[in-house]
Structure 1
Amino acid sequence: MKCHLSKIMGEKRLKISDVARDTGVNRGTVTRLYNETATRVELEVIDKLCEYLNVEVGELFERNIES
C-alpha cells in the first residue's frame, strides 16, 4: 500500500502537529503514515483523516500491484 498523506498535506500546507491536533489522531500514527512506515491503521483513523483532508480513501491510499 502506498500512502499519499505527505503529498496531500504538502498541497494543503499542513504540518503533522496540525493534523494530529485537529483530528485527535495520535501524532505517532500520523508520522508513520506520513513517512509510509505504518504497518496497520485503524479504520476510524482512516475515516478521520479522509474527513479532515476532504479526500476519499482511494486518494489517501493506493494499492501497489506488482507483476
Structure 2
Amino acid sequence: MKCKLQKIMDERGLSQLQVAKGASVTPGAVGRMYRNQLNRIDTTTVDKVTDYLGITDIREIFELVQEEA
C-alpha cells in the first residue's frame, strides 16, 4: 500500500506541521504518512487527516500496489 499524502500536500502547498496542527495529530504521524513509512495504519489518524484535507474517498490518499516477488 502506498500513501499519497506527500503528493497531496505538495500540490496544496501544505507543510507537515500545518497538517498535524489542523488535523490534531502528532507531527510524527504526519511525517510517517508523508514519507510512506507505515508499518500499520492508524484509522483514527487517517480519519483526522482526511477530514482536515477534505478527502472523502480513501483511494485519494492510499493506493494498493502489488509487491514484486
Sequence identity percentage: 37
Deviation at 1:41, TM superposition (A): 2.2
CA distance in 1, matches of 2:50, 2:5: 10
Q: Cα RMSD between the aligned structures? A: 1.2
Task: Give the number of equivalent residue pairs.
Answer: 67
Q: Report whether the alignment pairs 1:30 with 2:30.
A: yes
Identify the residue that residue 43 of structure 1 maps to in structure 2. 43
Deviation at 1:66, TM superposition (A): 4.1
TM-score, normalised via structure 2 length: 0.87
User: Which amino acid is 2:62 matched to?
Assistant: F
CA distance in 2, matches of 1:23, 1:50: 8
Asked whether the 8 Å contact 2:23–2:51 carries over to 1, the reply is: no
**Alignment gaps of 5+ in structure 1:** none
CA distance in 2, matches of 1:21, 1:33: 15
CA distance in 2, matches of 1:66, 1:43: 23
Off by >2 Å, runs of 4+ in structure 1: none
Deviations, residues 5-37 of structure 1 (Å, cap 9, x unaligned): 000001111000000111111111100110111
Deviation at 1:65, TM superposition (A): 2.3
TM-score, normalised via structure 1 length: 0.90
1:1-67 correspondence to structure 2 within 5 Å:
1-55=1-55, 56-66=57-67
